[in-house]
Chains A and B, each alone.
Chain A
Amino acid sequence: MKRLLGVALGILTAIGGFVDIGDLVTNAVVGSRFGLSLIWVVGVGVVGICLFANMSGRVAAVSGRATFEVIRERLGPRAGLANLGASFFINLMTVTAEIGGIALALQLVTSIHHLLWIPVGAFAVWLVIWRVRFKIMENVAGLLGLCLVVFGVALFLLQPDWGQLAGQAMAPAVPQTESAAVYWFYAIALFGAAMTPYEVFFFSSGAVEEGWKVKDLVQSRINVLAGFPLGGLLSVAIAGCAAVVLLPAGIEVTSLSQIVLPVAEAGGKLALALALIGILAATFGAALETTLSSGYTLAQFFGWSWGKFRRPVRAARFHLSMIICLVVAIGVLATGADPILITEYSVVFSAVALPLTYLPILIVANDPQYMGKHVNSRAVNLAANVYLVIILVASLAAIPLLIITGAGA
Chain B
Amino acid sequence: MNRPRNTPTSLKSPPSVGGPVLDAQLHLLDRQVIDVDGLPVTTVDDIELEGVEADLPISLGARAPVISALLTGPVLGTRIFGGRPPSSRLIRLPWHDVSAVDVTVRLGVRSESLSASWVERWVRDKIIRRIPGGKHDPD
Q: Which residues of A are in contact with B by a Cβ distance under 8 Å?
A: 63-65, 69, 72-73, 76-78, 80-81, 130-134, 299, 301-306, 308, 311-314, 316-317, 319-320, 369-370
Contact = CB atoms under 8 A, between A and B. Distances in A.
18 contacts: A69-B43, A78-B79, A130-B131, A130-B134, A134-B138, A303-B40, A303-B41, A303-B72, A305-B39, A311-B134, A312-B131, A313-B129, A314-B39, A316-B120, A316-B123, A317-B119, A317-B123, A320-B123
Nearest to B45: A77
Contacts of B136: 311
Nearest to A130: B133
Nearest to B72: A303
Contacts of A305: 39-41, 120
A303 B79 contact: no
A310 to B, nearest CB: 8
Contacts of A78: 79-80
B76 interface: yes
B139 A132 contact: yes
Contacts of A80: 30
Q: What 3 pairs across the A-B complex have the smallest Cβ distances?
A: A303-B43, A316-B124, A303-B42
B128 A301 contact: no
Given A130-B133, A312-B133, A302 B138 contact: no
A329 to B, nearest CB: 19
Contacts of B32: 65, 69, 303
B120 A317 contact: yes
B22 interface: no
Contact of B127 (A72, A132, A134, A320): A320
A313 B30 contact: no
A3 to B, nearest CB: 25
Contact of A65 (B39, B103, B133, B138): B103
A9 B136 CA distance: 27
Interface in B16-70: 29-33, 39-43, 45
Nearest to A79: B80
B96 interface: no
A313 B39 contact: no
Contact of B43 (A301, A312, A317): A301
A308 B133 CA distance: 13
Contacts of B121: 316
Contact of B42 (A81, A304, A312, A314): A304
Given A65-B103, A305-B39, A317-B119, A312 B30 contact: no
A76 B30 contact: yes
